[in-house]
Amino acid sequence: MLRVLVNGADGRMGSQVVKAVYEDKDLEFVGGVSITNIGADAGELAGIGHLGIPIRGDLGKVLDDIKPDVVVDFTAPRAIFENARTVISHGTNMVVGTTGLTAEQRDVLAKLSAEHKTSIFIAPNFSIGAVLMMKVATEIAPFLPDVEIIELHHNNKLDAPSGTAIMTANKIAAARKAAGAQPAPDKTHESLEGARGTKVDDITIHSVRLPGYVAHQEVLFGGYGEYLTIRHDSVDRKSFMPGVILAVKKVTSRPGLTFGLENYL
Catalytic residues: 153, 157
Cβ-count burial of 192 within 10 angstroms (0-12 exposed, 13-18 middle, 19+ buried)?
A: exposed
Q: Which residue(s) pair with 6 in the sheet? A: 32, 72
Residues 95, 248 contacting (CB under 8 angstroms): yes
d(CA 236, CA 215): 8
DSSP state of 185: P
Question: Rounded to whole angstroms, what are the CA distances from 247 to 71, 100, 226, 250?
Answer: 11, 19, 38, 5
d(CA 124, CA 259): 8
Q: Which helix (H) or strand (E) holds 227?
A: strand 226-234
